[in-house]
Amino acid sequence: MKLIQELLFGKKKIIMQNKFKKCLEYKKIVRFNRGPNLVSKELKLSLDDLDSAKDIYKRGNYKWAIVHAYYSMFHAGRGLLYIKRYREKSHYCLIEAIRELYVKEKELSFVFIENIYKAKMLREEADYYGEYKKSMAEKLIKKSEEFLNEVKKIIENKK
């Protein structure tokens, strides 16, 4: 049983690495030497989107609260890439890069990757299909705030 788990986990790890490598290969993740100079800007954008999400939520516009909460996570995640001199050209590849550069290195819990994927899905459902609920917005705002706080800790430790 242990051998099977090791084989399956090892295969999963290779698949995850291949996703990041594919993002690099297709230039959806590129080197970006100016990145470290722009980290504080991304964190400010993240905080601004989070504040907007909270304000919009209070006014009962749950669709746009979800959209802003997702973009708060997106900008915080971009800050993580920038500090390592990468830039994304795909939302999907941003998430895969965070997984490879931070989760794999045990600097960030996998839970945050799950949360970003869920946020991306909720944003797309709200924005493209008009499917959203108050409870979704409320949970996503909380997850966005948790992610931003975790990203701030990681970035502070890298200074």
Number of structural domains found in the chain: 1
- Tens of pLDDT along 130-159? 999 999 999 999 999 999 999 999 999 986
| Assigned domain for 127 exists | yes
- Tens of pLDDT along 38-71? 999 999 999 999 999 999 999 999 999 999 999 9
pLDDT of residue 15: 46
Is 7's pLDDT higher than 60? no
Q: Determine the Cα–Cα distance for residues 2 and 122; give it in Å rounded to an integer.
A: 36
Is 3's pLDDT higher than 50? no
- Tens of pLDDT along 73-93? 999 999 999 999 999 999 999
Provide the pLDDT confidence category of residue 18 given band limits of 50, 70 and 90.
confident
Neighbours of 71 (CB within 10 A): 21
| Assigned domain for 14 exists | no
Q: What is the mean pLDDT of the chain?
A: 91
- Among 141, 28, 38, 121, smallest CA distance to 82 is for 38
| Assigned domain for 50 exists | yes
| Assigned domain for 76 exists | yes
> By residue range, what is the domain housing residue 49?
34-158
| Assigned domain for 1 exists | no
Q: What is the pTM of this model?
A: 0.89
CA distances, 133 to each of 65, 91, 140 (Å): 10, 23, 11
| Assigned domain for 27 exists | no
Q: What is the CATH number of the domain that holds 88?
A: 1.20.120.330
- For helices 62-83 and 134-158, angle between their N-to-C axes, nearest 10 degrees: 20
pLDDT of residue 16: 52
Helix, coil or strand: residue 26: coil
| Assigned domain for 25 exists | no
pLDDT of residue 17: 56
Neighbours of 34 (CB within 10 A): 9
- Tens of pLDDT along 98-124? 999 999 999 999 999 999 999 999 999
| Assigned domain for 17 exists | no
